[in-house]
Amino acid sequence: MAEHAHIDPGTLSDLLAVRRRPTLGTVMAVCEALGLQLCDAILFR
């Protein structure tokens, strides 16, 4: 997944373990790798 999203594997691991918050660019890269639109991944409250 990290390779497809062009992000560091350690970054992805930290995000999945909730050890850090993603930047918008990282969220966009992961969404693109998963074939999702950004609006499907972000919940505004």
pLDDT tens sequence across 5-19: 999 999 999 999 999
Domain boundaries, the chain: 2-41
pLDDT of 34-45, one tens digit each? 999 999 888 877
Residue 20's Cβ-side half-sphere holds a number of Cα atoms within 13 Å equal to: 11
The pTM is what? 0.80
Show the DSSP H helices in 1-45 as ranges.
2-5, 9-16, 24-34, 38-41
